[in-house]
């Protein structure tokens, strides 16, 4: 890897800022260990990468962010109004738009999400907002930030809020402020190079905002590879497949057989990397499309011409963070009218309840829970029962595999790309290490077994092997 092997006296720190979960490890030279960073989480070494910002500006991260959102925001009638901003403006105010304010005065105390010309869509009674998968937003050039209750937050600042928790844990462990960290990054934040550059730059800025002065990046799967290879003193070619919430990453590395961690690291070489932004979140969306959309009327017909419901309604269901945008008087009245003339009135009624009572997030969690269950069970059910909503959808592992087939193809292509970059065939790889939550999916494991052979596969710590390896590298960075 061409690392400069000047040993550092201080505790070294490796940070895996994940789409779903973040973790941190520190190394004192002898051992690397992961730190507890979220005592409210079932696994305290994992900090769910979630941020809740309350109306009064309070910021809550991790498991508590999800719990607070469910407690305060869900099962509550969302009231959305169009407000007249009184001035003609071009473009958007807040939301995912360009955030050009021009000379428009801000309305105090209101959560202005989006405005076109002189009107803004405002959630008047929202107690707070929850941000999920911020890492995915880092690559979106047009998403510079968002408006939360009259305050503009840049994406870097939202991300920094999560990193601050990690920094505090590291400093506490070290008993002094730690300025340097090796951060993981996916092989590709995006398939577009310009977006990839933007994402890394933003993550670096977020790390600076959180107090890390010296930040270096390493591919996440390289971290996992080092974690495995550092103590095994024999020559081998290793492949790491790291599949998380946002990205599928592969790297192939070669390690020599010399003694000592420093020389083993110095002799290691990255032979090839590849990656695609297709992982757990995209899989959840696919299950939602196939199994949940029909429960909300995606196959319903309405009116005298028996038309299907507009697709945009369902696209918003896919993205629960934007569900409130459907909660306008026009849309709700339209849904009530469509329901009366529909061949599936119950489904359209359910869609209205989903929108009006803000059930998007808990429903997404049910889908994820069912997906995880299929890693150990052959069949499961997605169950979600609330007033006017009754979902009980059976999902078998075989059907799930079928649903994600096209994603498996993309993952396979990334494996081939990594092999090609390394100039190696599958038989020339000695060991295939897997990590990341999505690597537990049986269809993914089958794909790897078919290509490399069962005996070569080894699951490493699913959620912390990347951070541990990054901390080891940080020791010598």
Ligand X SMILES: Nc1ncnc2c1ncn2[C@@H]1O[C@H](COP(=O)(O)OP(=O)(O)OP(=O)(O)O)[C@@H](O)[C@H]1O
Residue 277 touching Mg ion (CB under 5 A):
no
Unique residue bearing structure tokens 């790291």: 242
Q: CA–CA separation, 349 vs 347, rounded Å?
A: 5
Q: What SS3 class is residue 99?
A: coil
Nearest distance, CB of residue 132 and ligand X, angstroms: 11
Q: How many residues does the chain have?
A: 477
Binding site residues, ligand X, CB under 6 A: 18-21, 135, 220, 244-247, 279-281, 368, 371-372, 375, 436-438, 440-441, 463
What b-and-e string marks burial along 313-338, b requiring 16 or more CB atoms within 10 Å of the CB?
A: bbebbbebbbbbbbbeeebeebbeeb
Q: CA–CA separation, 189 vs 195, rounded Å?
A: 7
Q: What SS3 class is residue 457?
A: strand
Nearest distance, CB of residue 127 and Mg ion, angstroms: 31
**C-alpha of 414 from chain center:** 19
Nearest distance, CB of residue 347 and ligand X, angstroms: 26
CB of 345 closer than 8 Å to CB of 339:
yes
Nearest distance, CB of residue 145 and Mg ion, angstroms: 24
Q: For residue 317, what are the contacts with CB-CB under 8 A and spacing of at least 6?
A: 288, 292, 293, 296, 323, 351, 354, 360
Choice between 244 and 275, CB closer to Mg ion: 244
Query: Residue 94 binds what, of ligand X, Mg ion, none (CB under 5 to 8 Å, by partner type)?
Result: none
Binding residues for Mg ion, how many (CB under 5 A)? 3
Q: Tell me the C-alpha to C-alpha distance, in Å, between residue 391 and each of 293, 336, 349, 369.
A: 11, 20, 13, 14
Q: CA–CA separation, 349 vs 389, rounded Å?
A: 8
Nearest distance, CB of residue 344 and ligand X, angstroms: 30
Choice between 43 and 236, CB closer to ligand X: 43
What residues numbered 10-69 form the site for Mg ion, per CB under 5 A? 18
What residues numbered 423-462 form the site for Mg ion, per CB under 5 A? 436
User: The tokens of 322 are what?
Assistant: 């934007």
Looking at the DSSP bridge assignments, the partners of residue 339 are none
Nearest distance, CB of residue 27 and ligand X, angstroms: 20
Residue 244 touching Mg ion (CB under 5 A):
yes
Nearest distance, CB of residue 44 and ligand X, angstroms: 14
Choice between 135 and 451, CB closer to ligand X: 135
Nearest distance, CB of residue 23 and ligand X, angstroms: 8
Choice between 136 and 339, CB closer to ligand X: 136
Pairing of strands 301-302, 307-308: antiparallel
User: The tokens of 189 are what?
Assistant: 């934040």
Choice between 14 and 436, CB closer to Mg ion: 436
- Using CB positions, name the residue nearest to ligand X: 280
Q: What helix, strand, coil percent values describe the chain, rounded to 5? A: 40, 25, 35
Choice between 318 and 424, CB closer to ligand X: 318
Choice between 63 and 352, CB closer to ligand X: 63
Query: Residue 280 binds what, of Mg ion, ligand X, none (CB under 5 to 8 Å, by partner type)?
Result: ligand X
Q: What values do phi and psi take at 95, rounded to 5?
A: 55, -150
Nearest distance, CB of residue 22 and ligand X, angstroms: 7
Choice between 254 and 368, CB closer to ligand X: 368
CB of 248 closer than 8 Å to CB of 283:
no
Choice between 16 and 123, CB closer to Mg ion: 16
Q: Which residues bind Mg ion (CB under 5 A)?
A: 18, 244, 436
């Amino acid at each position: 890897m061409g690392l400069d092997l000047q040993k550092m006296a201080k505790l070294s720190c490796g940070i895996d800022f994940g789409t779903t979960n973040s973790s941190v490890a520190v190394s004192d030279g002898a051992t690397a260990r992961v730190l507890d960073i979220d005592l409210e989480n079932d696994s305290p070494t994992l900090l769910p990468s979630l941020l809740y910002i309350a109306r009064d500006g309070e910021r809550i991260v991790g498991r508590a962010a999800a719990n607070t959102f469910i407690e305060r925001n869900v099962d509550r009638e969302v009231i959305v109004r169009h407000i007249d901003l009184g001035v003609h403006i071009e473009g958007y105010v807040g939301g995912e738009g360009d955030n050009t304010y021009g000379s428009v005065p801000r309305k105090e105390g209101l959560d202005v999400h989006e405005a076109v010309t002189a009107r803004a869509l405002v959630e008047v009674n929202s107690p707070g907002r929850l941000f999920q998968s911020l890492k995915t937003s880092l690559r979106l050039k047009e998403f510079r930030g968002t408006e939360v209750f009259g305050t503009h937050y840049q994406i870097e600042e939202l991300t920094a809020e999560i990193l601050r928790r990690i920094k505090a844990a590291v400093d506490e462990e070290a008993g002094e402020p730690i300025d340097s960290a090796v951060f993981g990054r996916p092989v590709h934040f995006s398939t577009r190079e310009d977006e990839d550059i933007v994402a890394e730059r933003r993550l670096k800025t977020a790390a600076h905002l959180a107090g890390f002065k010296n930040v270096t990046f390493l591919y996440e799967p390289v971290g996992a590879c080092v974690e495995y290879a550092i103590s095994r003193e024999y020559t081998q070619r290793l492949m790491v497949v790291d599949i998380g919430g946002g990205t599928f990453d592969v790297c192939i590395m070669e390690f020599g057989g010399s003694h000592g961690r420093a020389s083993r690291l110095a002799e290691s070489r990255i032979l090839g990397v590849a990656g695609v932004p297709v992982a757990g979140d995209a899989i959840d969306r696919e299950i939602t499309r196939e199994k949940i959309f029909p429960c909300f009327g995606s196959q319903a017909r309405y009116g005298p011409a028996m038309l299907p419901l507009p697709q945009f309604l369902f696209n918003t269901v896919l993205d629960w963070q934007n569900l409130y945008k459907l909660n306008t008087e026009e849309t709700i009245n339209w849904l009530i009218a469509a329901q009366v003339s529909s061949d599936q009135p119950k489904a359209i009624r359910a869609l209205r309840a989903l929108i009006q009572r803000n059930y998007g997030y808990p429903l997404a969690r049910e889908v994820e829970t069912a997906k995880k269950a299929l890693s150990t069970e052959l069949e499961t059910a997605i169950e979600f029962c609330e007033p006017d909503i009754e979902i009980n959808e059976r999902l078998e592992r075989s059907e799930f595999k079928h649903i994600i087939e096209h994603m498996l193809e993309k993952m396979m292509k990334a494996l081939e790309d990594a092999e090609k970059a390394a100039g190696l065939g599958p038989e020339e790889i000695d060991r295939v290490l897997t990590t990341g939550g999505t690597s537990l999916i049986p269809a993914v494991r089958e794909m790897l077994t078919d290509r490399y052979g069962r005996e070569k596969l080894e699951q490493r710590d699913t959620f912390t092997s990347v951070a541990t390896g990054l901390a080891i590298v940080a020791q010598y960075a």
